[in-house]
Structures are given as structure tokens and as C-alpha cells.
Amino acid sequence: MSTTDPLDALVNLRDLGGQPTGDGVATQAGVVYRSDAPHAGDRDPVDLSPWPPKVVVDLRDSVETGDEEHPLAAVATVHSVPLLEEARNGDVELDEAAHELTALYQSIVQGAPKKLVEVFRIVLDADGPVLIHCAAGKDRTGVVSAMLLSAVGVRRDAIVADYVRTDRNMLRVLQRLDAVPALPPGVDEEMVRELLSTPTEAIESVLNTFAEHEGGARGWLRAHGASNEELDRWQTKFTD
């Protein structure tokens, strides 16, 4: 790709800083970034600092990553945490009438809680910004982002709004994944976005699962092995 190609950089990248909590404070910038999958030769983002991240959490399955070295391995410590591989083997109860993505997200929350706690601890212990990504930066990354935000008391509406932001980026994400051809005459980006929109009910189902525990996501993480000391450290790191 040339340096003027709009697809030669991450297209679904954002900082999870600045999200409002119920206590009136905001999450800290430069702690956690979320994005689509990096490519070799990507330009550094022009509107995000600091960059590069110190740590990367790659949520993709091994079949997606193959034997190739991660594009950021030379500048960051890369952790592979394949959420779906674990979720497929988990004990999951799904509503057959649920939206397809709701079922997928519930399979992650119910079937891979140890992996989610593993991600939480990687982010907690990182000495510098952490980039979390899957392929599109929408589903697996959306569940992890909701967990991290909810665990410090970010308002539900803000978490849903962050999730929905991916809508506007999906066309370029798919183009970077070589999943869509050039748009034919008469088809514009808005039409594509409508077809690929992120249903709020899917991420709300994750938040509902957290809400079933005393303390919300903190309680959910505690129920799956996180300690009060770890949860307090995360609160301090992400909001103070």
C-alpha cells in the first residue's frame, strides 16, 4: 500500500480513555486501545499518543493468525488469548431465539471466563498502553472492552455508544480483511453500514450478565478469580 492509501493504517482504532463513570470521573487516556487487526507495514496512527503500545493482546484463534509473527512483535510484548477456541469448549446455555451476535457474545462470557480474566490481568499489569484487537475489532474486542469499562463503573450508555462506533468503520475494516470488493455503482458506504450494523442488544446482553452479580462487572470478575486487590488496582489505574 502507498502512504496515501486510507487502508494502510488501523481503521477501527480508538482509545478507551475519556469514558464517563457513574461517579462523574472519566477513564484515563493511554491505558487501553482497541482496534482491528494490525497489518505489516501499517502507518502509525496520527491522532493517537503514545504509540506504539507496550503490550498487545491478540484475541484471534490460531487458525486466523497461522505461523506469522505479529506485526507489532518488534515493538511490543504480544499475548495471544484466543477467546473463541476456549468458548467453543465451554459449558454455555444459549437462548435459541437470541440474535446471532448475542449468542456469540454469551458464548464468550459464559464459555471463556478464564480467558477474559487473563486479559484483565494482562492489561492490569502492563507497564504502558495496551492494544486489544481481534480481526475486525468488533465482537471479541467489544466484549473485552465492555468488561474493562464496566469494571470501573463506566456508564452503560457510554459502553454501548463505544461499541456502536464500530458501525462507521466496518466498510474499511472489511476492505482491510479483503472481505468485500470495490463498491459497485449505486451502492454507497451508508448502505453497507446498515447491512453490517452492530446490534446494541448483543453488547447489552453482556452488560446484563455482569449486572447479575453484586457489583456488576467487578462482581463477575471476582466470581471468576479476580481478587479485590486486583480490582482496586484496576480502578486506580484506569480512572485516577
Domain boundaries, the chain: 14-239
The helix (run of H) or strand (run of E) holding residue 175 is helix 170-176
- The pLDDT value given to residue 9: 95
- Whether the CA torsion 62, 150, 214, 100 is positive or negative: it is negative
| Grid cell for residue 81 | 488469548
The helix (run of H) or strand (run of E) holding residue 80 is strand 77-80
Please write the tens of the pLDDT for every residue from 51-62: 999 999 999 999
| Grid cell for residue 240 | 485516577
- The pLDDT value given to residue 2: 43
How sure is the predictor about 177, in pLDDT bands with cuts at 50, 70 and 90? Answer: confident
Please write the tens of the pLDDT for every residue from 197-235: 678 999 999 999 999 999 999 999 999 999 999 999 999
- Considering only residues 160 and 189, tell me which one the structure prediction assigns the higher pLDDT: 160
Mean pLDDT in the chain?
90
CATH number corresponding to 14-239: 3.90.190
